[in-house]
Amino acid sequence: MNLQDSLLPPHAEMVRAMLERDTAYEGVFFTAVKTTGIFCRPSCTARKPKPENVEFFAHADEALSAGYRACLRCKPLDAAAIAPDWIQALLKAVDAEPDLRWTDALLLEQGIEPLKLRRWFKQHFGMTFHAYLRTRRLGIALGGIKEGTSIDNAAFDSGYESLSGFRDAFVKSFHITPGRAALSEPLLFTRLTTPLGPMLAMAERRGLVLLEFLDRPALTKELEELQQRYGYTVAPGHNAHLQQIETELAEYFAGKLTVFKVPLHMPGSAFAVRVWAELQKIPYGETRSYGAIATALGSPGASRAVGLANGQNRLAIVIPCHRVIGADGSLTGYGGGQPRKAFLLRLEKAAVQVSLPLAF
């Protein structure tokens, strides 16, 4: 079977999405124009080609392999590609020496143009590289305070010459004083790139807490709840759980991973936690209805409550709420958007079919 074709939506659906510049299909497919030799995102603002002059690809690298060039207007490689090698090398260097002061002169010595770096971080992290470094150092200070380091030592270890300057920067970044931070739980976050667009991953010492597409409408509300209701203090950084989910996500989208093993921590109501546990029992490549999950929980009339808990899931893909469908088989609501839900189901179904032994 053709694995690429199995991942694509129906042809008519892609033509409609392309003509209407539907942003819900970002990362779901790429549009390649035979007459120009260029491929684009479905939402590209350039003049739309005739449908008969277009072919579609599930992945950007497949369009490149077919001889197409990336559009300079919509930059399709930026939508799905992983961080470039020079960014990955820089981030590893920052992890190795978090106290190192990365001046523009030092960046130039490493062959990195400061303005180019600034633009990349603004686009992908919403802050400049130097702002990222400052916030990350404060995040390390937060972890130290949580473990018993004095505020004075945390301030000086972070490179601040005065306690007042440290406190001001700390409050500006975390909206909490250093003293109160000693009672909170640090929640580290990083941005991950996937074929379906960027995702935000957050983890604390007990496990992964959040994994969401950055354009999910409910993301802001989820972050506020984690901070205000569950007492988390959010800071950029890395830990073993974030590194593990990055690796496992790459294997999942490659069709090589069917069960996530990253430790999870899922604060929520007792009922929501039960629903999330039931979601994790749905086998890879299969689906269940809301009613079936309610019945499995011993509450056959609680389909609506199951749907609500399903929507409150903060761990997209890992807790597979995309495998829950309507009783009639329809793809009902999904926080990441129904096109992504359809893509994930096609991905899993295709991977299962490819893995089946051939019958002779």
Sheet strands (E) in 308-358: 324-325
Question: Is 321 considered catalytic here?
Answer: yes
Tokens of 175: 């909206």
CA distance 68 to 328: 40
From the candidates 321, 324, 345, 350, give the one annotated as an active-site residue: 321
Q: Which residue in 284, 330, 279 sits closest to 309, CA to CA?
A: 279
Which residue in the block uniquely carries the two structure tokens 């030092």? 106
Length of the chain: 360
Amino acid at position 30, single letter = F
From the candidates 17, 40, 306, 345, give the one annotated as an active-site residue: 40
230 is in an annotated binding site: no
CA distance 262 to 242: 9
SS3 track for 159-226: CCCCHHHHHHHHHHHHCCCHHHHCCCEEEEEEEECCCCCCEEEEEECCEEEEEEECCCCCHHHHHHHH
Report in angstroms the alpha-carbon separations of 151 from 97, 137, 194.
Answer: 21, 14, 38
Q: C-alpha angle with apex 38: 37 to 44, nearest 5 degrees? A: 150
74 is in an annotated binding site: yes
Torsion 211-212-214-220 (CA) sign: negative
Rg (CA), the chain: 23
Question: Is 40 considered catalytic here?
Answer: yes
71 is in an annotated binding site: yes
40 is in an annotated binding site: yes
Q: Which residue in 328, 174, 318, 150 sits closest to 249, CA to CA?
A: 318
Q: Which residue in 231, 244, 238, 323 sits closest to 276, CA to CA?
A: 323
Report in angstroms the alpha-carbon separations of 168 from 165, 236, 288, 319, 327.
Answer: 5, 18, 50, 38, 54
Residue 72: half-sphere exposure toward Cβ, Cα within 13 Å: 1
| Known binding-site positions | 40, 44, 71, 74
Query: What residues act catalytically?
Result: 40, 321
Can you say which residues are annotated as belonging to the binding site for Zn(2+)? 40, 44, 71, 74
